[in-house]
Amino acid sequence: MSVRKLKPITPGQRFKVVNGFDAITTDKPEKSLLAPLKKSGGRNSRGKMTMRYKGGGHKRRYRIIDFKRDKQDVAAEVKSIQYDPNRSAFIALVEYTDGEKRYIIAQNGLQEGQKIKAGPGSAPEIGNALPLSEVPLGTIISCIELRPGQGAVMARSAGTFAQLMAREGRYATIKLPSGETRMILSDCLATIGAVSNSDHQLTVSGKAGRSRWLGRRPRTRPVAMNPVDHPMGGGEGRASGGHPRSRKGVPAKGYRTRSRTKDSNRYIVERRKK
């Protein structure tokens, strides 16, 4: 995978850095796995704007992703690696031996024509999904379940991965991308390998228009508002705005909002770094 820096032929290309898309093998999605995707523009069911700075954007179709990997003990072949406009990671179209096709999150190094498998007894190779109880210690994993059968919820975005640190009793200890170390039931599935498109963080949009294509409208800085609009608004001249806080007055940048009595706190071995 690589990135391309464009020649500054236009002002929008002066600082633009785009993905090389070397891993992509086709630009035509599987029609049977597409679903319509409706945009709300930040409006609720009554048409009232309840979320600011949303709207516009290019029309998309949702790719139905198999996060559960519940078709187990059946081999599948990777047919293609594709771009997905709904997520930062690339996706892989796989076809099982019985003819069924599904999309999965593509791992780094997953190749077209490669055979993959899910379920207990699978080999700990890239793209295979198996319970944490069968993953060798120290292995790089991604697309991890939090509860057995729930489907992958952790380490799903581009370039992310976790590491299996230890196992004790019913639980496995995992170091997550945030730096947090926590225990997860050993019955939960995880996929071997880091998520694809690790160069995603190196891209530079180059112009404001690309944010509009993504459905993001211009955002007003709180310090530029009036006191009636935001706690950080007002002041003479270029006032700094005081303590960073949200529109509702909740402190930001370091203030912990996680409940001290949250039930899952007992599973956290080490908190993420501030």
List pLDDT tens digits, range 225-272: 999 999 999 999 888 778 999 999 999 998 989 999 999 999 999 998
Percent of the chain scoring above 90 in pLDDT: 95
Q: How far apart are CA 201 and CA 193, in angstroms?
A: 18
Q: How far apart are CA 272 and CA 179, in angstroms?
A: 5
Res 1: pLDDT: 62
Q: Which residues contact 242 (CB under 8 A, 6 or more apart)?
A: 231, 232
- Is pLDDT larger for residue 240 or for residue 214? 214
Global pTM reads: 0.92
The answer to whether 142 and 193 are in contact (CB under 8 A) is: yes
| pLDDT grade for 69, boundaries at 50, 70 and 90 | very high
Residue 176's φ and ψ, nearest 5 degrees, are: -85, 165
Average pLDDT over residues 160-165: 97
pLDDT of 141 over the 90 cut: yes
Domains of the chain: 19-201 (2.40.50.140), 220-274 (4.10.950.10)
**Among 21-35, 116-130, 239-253, which stretch is predicted with the lowest mean pLDDT?**
239-253
| pLDDT grade for 2, boundaries at 50, 70 and 90 | confident
